[in-house]
């Protein structure tokens, strides 16, 4: 007789897992460090003061507990639940857990991701972390996301627009999707948001990592139209003398 196939462990409920994570993280609150985090941002945030290595270690332990029994559906529900909380670290834990299921990501997650960017991922640290852990891995598996990023680039919500650029950063760094990176960067020269100027410059800088001549040509072609913050970010990897020349020639 063949042995019965091993059954999956019973799946912990999403709400029970969320309550445990919230309870554990709030118990680790460090008030002096939390005040320092709050001072780091230009606008008010609610922080627990848990440093990133500790938060990642905690989340890894949660993933070890949850992954044998969960699918991306439960992880998505957990992320949505944790994003309703006020503390930054609890919200970050939500997409850290979700990122552990990246092999199951499909574009079906994108409408929910956009809603989160519109409503809950409301500062650059949260939005950028979400791009790194969820959106960029999704694009790795589904390059057709290019169409979504083009739409998001013109969205009225700042964090959706920023996500369109930041999602491309790890690809541009490796010389991939460069046409799209330059296309979307060029759409934000007239944007009046400093955070978009920084994202534009960051993306251009990474695009230049594997093709510096192309970046230089782009900067010289569009020079005076590019916000100065974006130019300064974009040229950070050029030699000092070349940076000075580019600053002059792009005025």
Q: What is the pLDDT of residues 93-139, one digit of tens each?
A: 999 999 999 999 999 999 999 999 999 999 999 999 999 999 999 99
- In the 8-state DSSP scheme, what is residue 133? I
Which long-range CB contacts under 8 A does 73-76 form with residues at least 24 apart?
74/11, 74/14, 75/100, 75/101, 76/109, 76/112
Cα Rg of the chain, angstroms? 21
Q: What is the pLDDT of residues 204-231, one digit of tens each?
A: 999 999 999 999 999 999 999 999 999 9
pTM equals 0.92
CATH number for the segment(s) 12-104: 1.25.10.90
CB 219 within 8 A of CB 250: yes
Phi, psi dihedrals of residue 46, rounded to the nearest 5° = -110, 120
pLDDT at residue 40, as a whole number: 80
- Residues 223, 79: Cα–Cα separation, whole Å: 41
CA distances from 103 to 41, 61, 62, 78, 155 (A): 33, 19, 18, 17, 28
Helix, strand, or coil (residue 12): coil
Q: What is the pLDDT of residues 27-70, one digit of tens each?
A: 999 999 998 888 888 678 899 999 999 999 999 999 999 999 99
């Amino acid at each position: 007789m063949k042995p019965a196939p091993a059954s999956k462990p019973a799946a912990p409920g999403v709400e029970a897992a969320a309550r445990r994570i919230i309870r554990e993280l709030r118990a680790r609150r460090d008030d002096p460090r939390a005040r320092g985090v709050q001072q780091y941002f230009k606008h008010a945030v609610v922080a627990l003061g848990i440093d990133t290595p500790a938060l990642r270690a905690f989340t890894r332990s949660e993933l070890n507990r949850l992954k044998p029994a969960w699918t991306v559906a439960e992880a998505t529900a957990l992320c949505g639940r944790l994003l309703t909380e006020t503390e930054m670290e609890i919200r970050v834990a939500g997409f850290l857990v979700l990122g552990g299921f990246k092999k199951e990501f499909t574009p079906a997650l994108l409408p929910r991701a956009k809603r989160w960017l519109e409503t809950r991922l409301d500062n650059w640290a949260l939005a950028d972390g979400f791009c790194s852990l969820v959106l960029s891995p999704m694009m790795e598996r589904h390059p057709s996301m290019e169409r979504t990023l083009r739409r998001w680039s013109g969205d009225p919500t700042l964090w959706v627009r920023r996500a369109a650029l930041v999602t491309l950063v790890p690809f541009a760094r490796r010389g991939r999707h460069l046409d799209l990176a330059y296309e979307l960067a060029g759409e934000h020269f007239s944007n009046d948001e400093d955070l978009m100027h920084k994202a534009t410059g960051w993306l251009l800088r990474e695009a230049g990592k594997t093709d510096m001549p192309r970046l230089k040509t782009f900067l010289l072609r569009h020079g005076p139209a590019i916000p100065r913050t974006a130019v300064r970010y974009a040229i950070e990897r050029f030699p000092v003398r070349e940076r000075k020349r580019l600053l002059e020639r792009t005025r």
